[in-house]
Structure 1
Amino acid sequence: MFLKYFYDDSLAQASYMVGCQATGEAAIVDPSRNIEAYIRTAEKQGFTITAALETHIHADFVSGSIELSDRTGATVYHSAEGERNGGYSFPASVNTAPVRHKDTINIGKTVFEVLHTPGHTPEHISFLLTDGANPKKPIGIFTGDFVFVGDVGRPDLLEKSVGVKDSATKGASQMFESLKQFKQLDDYLQVWPGHGAGSSCGKALGAVPTTTVGYEKQFNPALQYDDEQSFSDFLLDGQPEPPAYFKEMKELNKGVTGLLGAIEQPVEFAYSEEKIRELAQDEQALVVDTRPSSLYSQGHLAGTINIPYPDGFLEWMGWLTDYRLNVYLIAEPEVKASLAEAFYSIGIDNVRGFFSPKNVSQAKEQRTYETVPPSEIKELKREDKIRIVDVRFENEWNAERIPGAIHVMLGSLQEEAEEKIPHDKPVAVHCASGKRSAIAASILLNKGYEVKNIGGGFAKWKADSLETEKP
C-alpha cells in the first residue's frame, strides 16, 4: 500500500493519496481544488486515480472531487447519510457512488470501511482503512473533520454559517454519540485528520499532523466526558465566529463547483493610478492592496483595502470579499499565480486583474494613517478626544477589553461600522497584536473616519500596564 500526505498551509487542510501498488489504482481522500500535486504523484508512482472520497460537505475550501472526476474519470464516493441523502447534488456528468455506514470501498486490494460519524455535519463519514497486505485488521482511520489532533469538529457551523436553527445543539449530541463509536476502536489505529492548527473547523486543533486513537482517548479534552450535557457545554463554549465565506463553500461543495479550466484568467494590467481609482470607486469591484501594512499606511490610493500577503491573507479575503464582486489586486508580479490559486481554493473565481505596486508610493493623491503607541491613545482617551474600536473576535472581547471601547469584529466591519461607530471624533483601532487592526484601518478610512492604529494592539496595551476590564 502507498500512503501520501498533502497539506495546504493557507487553509490548514490535509488530503491523502492511498494507492494499491499491486493493481496501480489510487484514491484521494478529501481532495483540494488544485489537483496538480495528486496528478504528479500518481504519474510518478504509476497509479491511475480511480476514486475521490469525501468525508462531508466542506465549509472552508472548495473540494477537488469534481475536478478529479473530470480529469481522471474518478468515481466520487460521498455520504448518503444525514438528511436529504447527505445534501449532495452532483451533475449527471460526474460519476458518483453514495455510501452509507458499514459500506466498503475497494481500491485495488485496499479497503475503506465507511463509518457514519455525524456531529460536525449530519452527513459526515469517516473511512477505516485496511491494507491488502494485512487484511485482518485496519491500519488507521481518515477522520475528516470528526476527530483532530487534540480536538473534535465544531457542531455549530450549520447554524452560524447557514442559519439552520438548533443544529448546533443537535450536532453536539450527535458528536457525543459518534465519539462513543470512536472510543471503541483499537488504540493502535492511526488517525489521519482533515485539518491542523489554524483551521476554523475546530477551536483548538493541534499542530502535529497525525495521531492515534489511543493518544486521543487519553489526551483529547473532548474525549474526557461521559455526561452528554457537560460535553455539549464544553464543545459549544468558545467556538470562534466562522468566516463569512463558509456559507458560500457549503453551497459550492454540494456538487456545483465549476471547473478551473473554465475560469477567466486574471489580466496583468499596466500600472495606472487613474484606473485603480476608477475601480476602487466601482460598486461592482473590490481593489485589494496586498503590500505590508507598514507600506500601505505610508501611502495608498483611496478606496483600496489592505490585506497583506501572505500572513492571514486567505482567511481575511474569505471574511471580507463579496463573492458577487470583481476582484482586482495590487500585488507583486511574482506572486500573482500563487494568489490566484489561493482565491480559487475558496471559490473566489472572479479575480479580474493585477496591478504592480511599484508606483503606488509615488501616486499624486495618497492617503496615510498613523500607528501610535498605546500611551498616546490613553492620553487622548482621557481627554475624550478619541474613540477606541476593538476588532478582535467575540471570545477575545469577552475575556478582557479596554474600558469604553466599541466592539466590531473585523469580519463584520464593512457592514456594521456605520451603525456602531459614530463619526464625531477620530477612532483608534486595535486587535490583539496589530495585524487585524491594520486591515480594519483601511476599511474605516474608506468610510470616512479619521483613523489611528494602536501599535502592538491589546497585547502592548496590557504590557504597558494600561487599564483593562473583564465583563
Structure 2
Amino acid sequence: MLLERIYDEDLAQASYFIGCQVKGEAIVVDPRRDLDVYLELAEKNGMRIVAVTETHIHADYLSGTRELAAKTGAQMYVSDEGGPDWTYGADFDEATRMKHGHQIVLGNITVEAAHTPGHTPEHMSFLVTDGAQATAPGFMLTGDFVFVGDLGRPDLLDEAAGFVDTRFGGAKDLFASLRDQFLPLPDYVQVLPAHGSGSACGKALGAIASSTVGYERNFSWWAKYLENNDEQGFVDELLNGQPDAHAYFARMKRQNKLGPAVMGTVRELREYSVEELTSALTADSAIFVDTRANSAVHEGTVERSLNVPGVAKAASYGAWVYDPEHEQRPLVLLADSREQAEQMRDHLVRVGIDTVDGYVLSLAGLELVKPATVEPENLDSVDAALLLDVRNRTEYSEGHLPGAAQLSGGRLMWHLDELPEEGTIVTYCQSGVRNSVAASALRRDGYDVVELEGSYLGWLAVPGNTPVAA
C-alpha cells in the first residue's frame, strides 16, 4: 500500500493519496482544487486515480472532489449521513452516497466509512485496511473529527453557516462519536487528521502530522471526560475559547454542499505592461494585489490595492479581502516571476478565487501612495473615531490597547456595519502583517484608515504602556 499525506501550509490542510501498488489504483481523500500534486503522484507510481472522496462538507477551503473526478474520471464518494440539511446537492448526483460502513475496495486495500458526527452532522472518517499486511484497519483518516491533541470544533455551523445553537448538539455528538467510533479501536491504529497547527477548525491543534488512538486516549485533554463519562464537562471545555471563524467559511460551506465549480483547463496568466495596468486601474476594471510585506507596502503602493503578502498565506489572506460572490473584477498580482504568480493563483483557487488574470514584475512606472501610519508614541495625536484590534478574540482577551474594539481580520469586511460611517479608524494586529491586509481592504472600500506601526507589540515596547485584559 502507498499512503501519502499532501499538506498545504497555507490552510493547514491535509489530503491523502492511497494506492494499491498491485492493482495500480488509487483514491484521494479531501483533495484541493489545484490537482498537479495528485496527478504527479499517480504518474510517478504508475497508478490511476479511480476514486475520490471527502470527510465532510468543508468550511475552510473549496473541495477539489468534483475537479479531480472531472479530470481523471474517478468515481466520487460523499456522505449520505446527517439528515436532509446536510445532503450534497445535485452536482453530486453521479457520486456514490455513503452510509456508515460503506466500503471502497482498491485491490488489497479497503477504505471503510465511519459516521463520526460532531464537527458537522454528515462527517465521515475512513478506516483503512491494507489487506496485504493485515485483516483489520491500521489507519483512520479522521478528517475534522480527531486532530493531534485536539478535536474538530462543533460551533462552525453557528459561527459561519448561520445556524443557531447547533454547537451544543454538535458537542454531544462529538462525545458520542469518540465513545462509540474512536475509543473502541486498538491503540495501534494510526490517526491521520485533515488539519494541523494553524487551522481555525480547532483551538489547540498539534503540529505533529499524525498520532495513534492509544496516544490520544492517554494524553489528549478530552480523555478524562470520556473516562469519567462527563459529557457536560466535555461540552463546556470544548466550546470554551474557540477562535474566531473566518467569514468566508460560510461561502465555502454553501459551495461545497452544492458543488464547487469545475475549473477545467486553467488559462495561462498574462504579464501586464505598465500602460495596460494603469489603464485597467483607471477604468476600475481590475484590482491590483501588492504581494510584498507590510514594511515595503508602507513605503509606497498602488492606490486602492489589496495587500496579500506572499504566496505562503495567499489563500488565507486573499479570502479575507476578496469575496468572489460579490466581486468579479480580475486580480493582477505583483510577482517576482511568472512561476510565483502561478503559485499564488493556485493558492487562491483553493478558496474559490478564480479571477487571477495576470501579473506585473515590478512597480516601476506605476503611481504610488504611502498608506497612513502612526508611531505608537504618537497614537494620542490621532483623533480616531475607532481604535480597532483586528486580531482574534482570544488574543484580544489576553491583552489589548485601552479603548480598542475587536473585530478579527477574517470577519471584518462582512461586518462593516460595526464600523463608524465617518472619521478615522486606527487599526492594529499583533505585529502588523494582518493589520496591513485588513487596512488595505478597508481603504479600498473608502474608509479613512491609519495603521499603528509595529501594531500591538510595537505599542507594548513603549515605556509606560499597559494593556487591558478582557
Q: TM-score, normalised to structure 1's length?
A: 0.90
User: CA contact under 8 A between 1:277 and 1:303: conserved in structure 2?
Assistant: no
1:355 is aligned to 360
SS of aligned partner of 1:410: coil
1:149 is aligned to 148
Rounded to whole Å, the distance in 2 between the matches of 1:402 and 1:70 is: 51
1:212 is aligned to 212
Equivalent pairs: percent with the same residue?
38
Rounded to whole Å, the distance in 1 between the matches of 2:317 and 2:146 is: 26
SS of aligned partner of 2:264: helix
2:432 is aligned to 434
2:235 is aligned to 232
Gap change, CA 1:218 and 1:375, over 3 Å in 2: farther
1:129 is aligned to 128
Deviation at 1:82, TM superposition (A): 0.7
Query: Does the alignment pair 1:69 with 2:69?
Result: yes
Rounded to whole Å, the distance in 2 between the matches of 1:253 and 1:82 is: 15
SS of aligned partner of 1:260: coil
1:83 is aligned to 83
Deviation at 1:385, TM superposition (A): 7.4
2:309 is aligned to 308
How many residues matched?
A: 460
Which deviates the most, 233-242 or 410-419? Answer: 410-419
Deviation at 1:116, TM superposition (A): 0.6
1:297 is aligned to 298
User: CA contact under 8 A between 2:31 and 2:63: conserved in structure 1?
Assistant: yes
SS of aligned partner of 1:254: helix
Rounded to whole Å, the distance in 2 between the matches of 1:210 and 1:101 is: 24
Gap change, CA 1:115 and 1:462, over 3 Å in 2: same
Rounded to whole Å, the distance in 1 between the matches of 2:113 and 2:414 is: 43
Gap change, CA 1:166 and 1:267, over 3 Å in 2: same
Rounded to whole Å, the distance in 2 between the matches of 1:440 and 1:81 is: 38
2:323 is aligned to 322
Rounded to whole Å, the distance in 2 between the matches of 1:445 and 1:339 is: 23
Deviation at 1:344, TM superposition (A): 1.1
1:161 is aligned to 160
Aligned-partner residue type, residue 270 of structure 2? V
Rounded to whole Å, the distance in 2 between the matches of 1:417 and 1:98 is: 40
Per-residue CA shift, 1:432-460, capped at 9, x if unaligned? 11111222333444455554432332233
User: CA contact under 8 A between 1:244 and 1:320: conserved in structure 2?
Assistant: no
SS of aligned partner of 1:338: helix
Rounded to whole Å, the distance in 1 between the matches of 2:322 and 2:447 is: 21
Unaligned runs of 5+ in 1: none
SS of aligned partner of 1:358: coil
Query: Does the alignment pair 1:33 with 2:33?
Result: yes
SS of aligned partner of 1:261: coil
Rounded to whole Å, the distance in 2 between the matches of 1:255 and 1:36 is: 24
1:21 is aligned to 21
* 1:45-444 to 2 correspondences below 5 Å: 45-84=45-84, 86-91=86-91, 95-181=94-180, 182-225=182-225, 226-261=229-264, 266-272=269-275, 274-278=278-282, 281=284, 286-323=287-324, 324-325=326-327, 326-332=329-335, 333-334=337-338, 335-359=340-364, 363-364=366-367, 366-370=369-373, 372=375, 374-377=376-379, 379-380=380-381, 388-414=387-413, 416=415, 419-421=418-420, 423-424=422-423, 426-444=424-442
Query: Does the alignment pair 1:461 with 2:459?
Result: yes
Rounded to whole Å, the distance in 2 between the matches of 1:247 and 1:241 is: 13
User: CA contact under 8 A between 2:385 and 2:422: conserved in structure 1?
Assistant: no
Deviation at 1:71, TM superposition (A): 2.3
SS of aligned partner of 1:192: strand
Unaligned runs of 5+ in 2: none
Deviation at 1:345, TM superposition (A): 1.2
SS of aligned partner of 1:161: helix
User: CA contact under 8 A between 2:114 and 2:127: conserved in structure 1?
Assistant: yes
Gap change, CA 1:364 and 1:57, over 3 Å in 2: closer
Per-residue CA shift, 1:209-250, capped at 9, x if unaligned? 111111111222133323112111111111122222212222
Which deviates the most, 148-157 or 59-68? Answer: 59-68
Gap change, CA 1:193 and 1:298, over 3 Å in 2: same
